[in-house]
Amino acid sequence: MKPHALIIRTAGTNCDGELVHAFEMAGARTSLIHINRLIDHPQVLDQSDLIGFPGGFSYGDDISAGRIFANTLRHRLFHPLQNAVRRGVPMIGICNGFQVLVKLGLLPDPFQPTWIQSFTLADNLNGRFVDRWVQLHVNPSSRCIWTKDLDRIELPIAHGEGRLVAQSDHLVQQLRDNGQVALRYAADDNPNGSVDDIAGICDPTGLILGLMPHPERYMDATNHPQWTRRDKQPPPTGLVMLTNALNHIAGRSSTVTIS
């Protein structure tokens, strides 16, 4: 049976359909559920092999991006999510989903007895919403299962609050030392001023990834703005990332071939 990916949405989420389509393209069966229904039926989390937190503007980004969604998860679904972490369920938070995971305290360390927020995603340094493609480097020493076998990649971004900020330099160094920095913006292509050019981080196991770029928007070669000018089309980055997670679940030692 295909692995089951659960995508959680709420008011203001607007990338949920794309993430459903992306997981299905990678080979998963999917369920899209509103958080209110998940609160009423938390056992759905126990039946999921992967969990996705999509992008958008949850609750209009009132107060701050992802804050209300994160607080709802903390107060109503903390223990079911904690059980999913303990089961080793791969999770991905994209853009607003990343904002949710860091404000929930699930990233960077979900193994604390109570999740504590130590990072945030603040306003872009230029004070503007940025919508474009960016150059990224995959950290070769990262534990992240989602970015396995990737190196230099490109992905689109679309955010106004994407600047990763830490409570201290020590916390950033811990991410480096633990192999939890999954993705960095190219040195000359940091669109928001994130500390250490960080575009995505994972938890200590490498199973939970949060990132500002949108892998679900690059699932086919034709999604890339330069696709007609390329002699050779590389495998779409988003498809590789989601396939990596499915392969991890299947217990395979290598990714499937993507034509």
* DSSP per-residue letters across 195-256: GGGEEEEE-TTS-EEEESS-GGG-SSGGGSTTGGG-SSPPPPHHHHHHHHHHHHHHT-SSPP
Q: Which of 179, 239, 238 is nearest to 207 (CA)?
A: 179
For residue 202, indicate whether it is catalytic: no
90-104 exposure pattern, b = at least 16 Cβ within 10 A, e = fewer: bbbbbbbbbbbbbbb
For residue 216, indicate whether it is catalytic: yes
Location of structure tokens 């499937």? 256
Distance of CA 177 to the CA centre of its chain: 21
Location of structure tokens 């392969």? 247
For residue 214, indicate whether it is catalytic: yes
Give kind and range of the element (H or E) at residue 40: helix 35-40
On whether the CB atoms of residues 123 and 161 are closer than 8 A, the answer is yes
**Which residue in the list 15, 137, 202, 216 is annotated as catalytic?**
216
**Which residue in the list 95, 159, 161, 202 is annotated as catalytic?**
95
Distance of CA 72 to the CA centre of its chain: 19
Residues 6+ apart with CB under 8 A from 231: none
For 76, the 3-state DSSP assignment is helix
Query: Which two structure tokens, joined as six digits, stand for 236?
Result: 């779409």
**Which residue in the list 15, 18, 159, 214 is annotated as catalytic?**
214
Location of structure tokens 């937190």? 53
Angle, nearest 10°, between helix axes 96-104 and 67-87? 70
Among all residues, which ones are annotated catalytic?
Answer: 95, 214, 216
